[in-house]
Amino acid sequence: MDTLLRAVLIVFCFKYAAFSDSPCTIELECRECIPDNMPLVTSHRSENGTITAAAGDEVVLVCSGGKFLAYPLRDTLTVVCKQGRYRVPHDGSLKHLIELGCQENVFEDVLHEVAGCAPPLQGRAYQGAGGGRVAHVAALCYDADRGLLRHAHLTAARGNDLRLPPHSHHTAPLTLLGNFNHMFDAKNRQDAEMLYSDDARLNRRLHELLKHEPHTFADQTLTAVKLLSPHYFEDQNMRVTDFASNKAAVWRSVAAGNLLHLQRDVARAIRLTHSRAVAVVTGTQGVAEMRTGHHQTRLFLKAGERFPVPKYIWMVVVDYSRRRALAVVVLNDPFVAVSEIKEAVFCDSACNAVNWIHELKKNRNYETPVYGLAFCCSLQNFTKVVTDVPSDLRMNISDFGVLTDLTSDE
């Protein structure tokens, strides 16, 4: 009996010791695993969207520009990893990460001056506070009247730090027009969040709009897609892609097909060229259509031709140091007929000559419309058709070559 008891105690102690040495992990892409307003972790770096702290590690959490929900007097909190949870030394409690959220998001989607994005288009920036200053991690040009991202860009430089003009909504003059613009913008954000937060609601809206038209979806559904992928960003900056202004409705087979493959290739390109002046620009063009009876119906998800389903999703990768660029365009139309492909592909595709788009070219699926027909353009040919691009892409592009290969910084 004593031997059996000792064996049980040994097993229990072993299990307890293993449990007490459990690391603390933070999965930044798992919405159910982190607080609604996740603080910045300034003591550890993330790797592939995960922050790992060993048992006994001190983890520093910061609510930049705000306070913790559970500790309204604190904007910085040092916690200790213990048993896979976090010990808060100043009150002795053991907390799950979900209990350690900020009162508001540490990242902001703000109205901001963006070069070449003049009214009625709306310049915006994704930004976060850190190191005593505001860091801009992406700039957008948004069509607020139609509810659609026209284009967004980021840099692969450390911290994704874009050099934008300084701006603060706290110091902006209060005017009747300014107040109206902010009210209109808040309504747009609310509409976008409601529309893109639930794919079932998104598709109910589509079915309702077409219920009186003869059509077939051929088992296709729409899904909300992030145009700027989380994997384009460093560390915790990936969380700026959650803003509704970064989303658009895409057919599911396209989203899970060539659009996803292209985003993976672009993310890999960013990692390979991390220390160089490489920029990524993404955007939309046109309005998707569906054949209803004997005519084509353009797809708008709200009245007043607002929140269109885009016809094209495009990405441009620019290596400024080598003066090379490549535009890759994905057709968001799994229903396109063979007779319509020639008109839909608006440049002579150079994809066969590009050696860094491995995922996209695998099994030649980039040529299959159901996955999102993809084609590659030089910057010169691309901007002849897609004229609504950041101003620096339109300047001095005549001597930009095609970015057919990548050279690693290592």
pLDDT at 354: 95
CB atoms near residue 317 (< 10 Å): 24
Q: Are residues 192 and 283 in the same domain?
A: yes
Helix 176-196 to helix 199-210 angle (10° resolution) is 90
**Is 139 a member of any domain?**
no
Query: How many residues are present in the chain?
Result: 410
Asked if residue 107 has pLDDT above 80, the reply is yes
Helix or strand holding residue 80 (H, E): strand 76-82
Helix or strand holding residue 187 (H, E): helix 176-196
Q: How far is CA 59 from CA 7, 88, 279, in A?
A: 36, 10, 32
d(CA 251, CA 71): 43
**Is 396 a member of any domain?**
yes
* C-alpha atoms less than 13 angstroms from C-alpha of 354 in its C-beta half-sphere: 29
280-289 as b/e: b if 16+ CB within 10 A: bbbbbbbbbb
pLDDT at 325: 93
**Is 167 a member of any domain?**
no
In 3D, which of 32, 29, 66, 35 has the Cα closest to residue 51?
A: 29
Asked if residue 401 has pLDDT above 70, the reply is yes
Q: How far is CA 154 from CA 163, 188, 308, 393, in A?
A: 10, 23, 24, 13
Q: Are residues 91 and 182 in the same domain?
A: no
3-state secondary structure of 23: coil
pLDDT one-digit tens code per residue, 160-209: 888 877 665 544 444 444 444 555 578 888 999 999 999 999 999 999 98
Which residues lie below 8 Å from residue 61, measured CB to CB, with a gap of 6+?
39, 40, 41, 42, 68, 76, 77, 78, 79, 100
**Which of 51, 66, 99 is the endpoint of a domain?**
99
User: How many domains, in total, are found in the chain?
Assistant: 2
Widest Cα–Cα separation across the chain: 87
Q: Are residues 181 and 290 in the same domain?
A: yes
d(CA 36, CA 98): 8
**Which of 39, 74, 99 is the endpoint of a domain?**
99
pLDDT one-digit tens code per residue, 229-263: 999 998 889 999 999 999 999 999 999 999 999 99
pLDDT at 399: 80
Helix or strand holding residue 24 (H, E): strand 24-27
pTM of the model: 0.86
**Is 94 a member of any domain?**
yes
pLDDT at 363: 79
**Is 409 a member of any domain?**
no
**Is 124 a member of any domain?**
no
Q: Are residues 308 and 208 in the same domain?
A: yes
What percentage of the chain has pLDDT greater than the value 70? 89
d(CA 176, CA 188): 18
**Which of 72, 99, 126 is the endpoint of a domain?**
99
**Is 380 a member of any domain?**
yes
Mean pLDDT lowest for which of 108-122, 313-327, 393-407?
393-407
How do strand 222-226 and strand 247-251 relate by DSSP bridges?
antiparallel
d(CA 55, CA 214): 61
d(CA 86, CA 56): 10
d(CA 233, CA 127): 13
What percentage of the chain has pLDDT greater than the value 90? 58
Q: Are residues 183 and 76 in the same domain?
A: no
**Is 394 a member of any domain?**
yes
d(CA 355, CA 402): 12
Residues spanned by the domain of 27: 20-99
Tokens 């050099």 found at: 163
Cα-Cα-Cα-Cα dihedral sign, residues 150, 241, 391, 177: positive
pLDDT bin (cut points 50, 70, 90) of residue 316 is: very high
pLDDT one-digit tens code per residue, 217-228: 888 999 999 999
DSSP codes of every residue in 327-392: EEEEE--TT--HHHHHHH--S---GGG-SS-HHHHGGGGGG-GGG--EEEE-HHHHHHH---S-HH
Q: How far is CA 16 from CA 10, 20, 25, 86, 90, in A?
A: 10, 6, 19, 17, 25
pLDDT one-digit tens code per residue, 108-163: 998 888 988 988 899 999 998 765 678 899 999 999 999 999 999 998 877 788 88
Which residues lie below 8 Å from residue 293, measured CB to CB, with a gap of 6+?
213, 214, 215
How do strand 401-402 and strand 324-331 relate by DSSP bridges?
parallel
| Mean pLDDT (the chain, rounded) | 86
d(CA 317, CA 325): 6
Tokens read off for 29: 């892409």
Q: Are residues 217 and 75 in the same domain?
A: no
pLDDT at 66: 87
